[in-house]
Amino acid sequence: MLNLSFMSIHLDGFSCPPDVLDFFPDNFQQEAKNMAITLQGKAAIVTGGGRGIGRGIAHVFAEEGAKVLVVNRSEAAGQTVVDEITAKGGTAVLCQGDVKSKADMEKMATACIDNFGAIDVLCLNAGIFPQALLSDMTEEMWDNVINTNLKGILFGTQACIPQMKEQKSGRIVVVSSITGPQVGWPGLCHYMASKGGANAFIRGASLELAKYNITVNGVSPGSIMTEGLAELGGEALKEISDIIPAGYIGEPEDIAYALLYFASDQSRYVTGQILVVDGGQVLPESPAAMGDA
């Protein structure tokens, strides 16, 4: 058996000892490149791209070759992310908009086509999670969360479907959550309902769009180190880390790389799936289980 454990392959420059190349077909370099998960040349939309997980997604997608339309309610926050990406040599453009607005989502789709000529990837990430116990929850609070987290997914998808159908290809990726579909938290009933709905939407939309070569998949994050979580402070963060089998809180990039696969050409035969990315957070029966691990 040939042992190639010493061989170093770099897909960009492709370097390895010359005699080793004799063992491989002439097209090996190209085949190796084809296996790399990349968004090179793709046009990608990221909603809620101005902070937190969305910011991480926008950066990773750009680093992997995508031209990114950063969609955000706050123009200043969105522009900051665009500037960060372009400073590193990536391509990004800002589209200020609110996912609750059907008109804004149609403007978003038009902006992506006008700037990049296509809509290859739609990442529906925008979401809010204000806390309110049921006894204190107003109709306005409920509607704001459902409209942002769930209606926003509908409007974003509807706006981009015509272009994806015309292209006969597309990747729609949704950021869901473990909170709702897998676990619960007091004061987040509206948020949990929206994420359960998001998972159901993924499955239904995947059935409708599969015949157009459009896939719909999602990622359910666990505890991720966003600006909001960081504000909880050291002791609270330690308590969260202690119940995660991996032993630490994830970063936005951990979610972004999972979405990268669903957004890539390599995932063409995967649709209607939701991947939990949580460091094992949903696995223990109770905190006591971690003490026995």
Answer yes or no: is pLDDT of 21 > 90: no
| Model confidence pLDDT, tens digit, residues 186-243 | 999 999 999 999 999 999 999 999 999 999 999 999 999 988 777 777 788 888 888 8
Scanning the chain, the segments in alpha helix (DSSP H) are 18-21, 28-35, 52-63, 75-87, 102-116, 139-146, 152-167, 189-209, 227-230, 234-242, 252-263, 287-291
**Amino acid at site 55:** R
As a whole number of angstroms, the distance between CA 44 and CA 33 comes to 21
Instruction: Please choose, from the candidates 67, 37, 144, 163, the residue with its C-alpha nearest in 3D space to the C-alpha of residue 98.
Output: 144
Answer yes or no: is pLDDT of 28 > 80: no
The terminus-to-terminus CA distance of the chain in angstroms comes to: 39
Structure tokens at 4: 């190639």
State what percent of residues in the chain have pLDDT above 90.
77
Answer yes or no: is pLDDT of 121 > 90: yes
As a whole number of angstroms, the distance between CA 189 and CA 79 comes to 32
Buried/exposed code over 25-51 (b: 16+ C-beta within 10 A; e: otherwise) = eeeeeeeeeeeeebbeebbbbbbbbbb
Q: Which pLDDT score is estimated for 229?
A: 76
Report whether CATH 3.40.50.300 matches the domain 38-280.
no
Residue 25 confidence class, pLDDT cut points 50, 70, 90: low
Among residues 191, 212, 257, 261, the one annotated as catalytic is 191
State what percent of residues in the chain have pLDDT above 70.
87
Answer yes or no: is pLDDT of 19 > 70: no
Residue 172 confidence class, pLDDT cut points 50, 70, 90: very high
Q: Which pLDDT score is estimated for 160?
A: 98
Q: Which pLDDT score is estimated for 195?
A: 98
Answer yes or no: is pLDDT of 292 > 90: no
Mean pLDDT of 57-74: 98
Residue 191 appears among annotated catalytic residues: yes
As a whole number of angstroms, the distance between CA 262 and CA 272 comes to 11
| Model confidence pLDDT, tens digit, residues 79-104 | 999 999 999 999 999 999 999 999 99
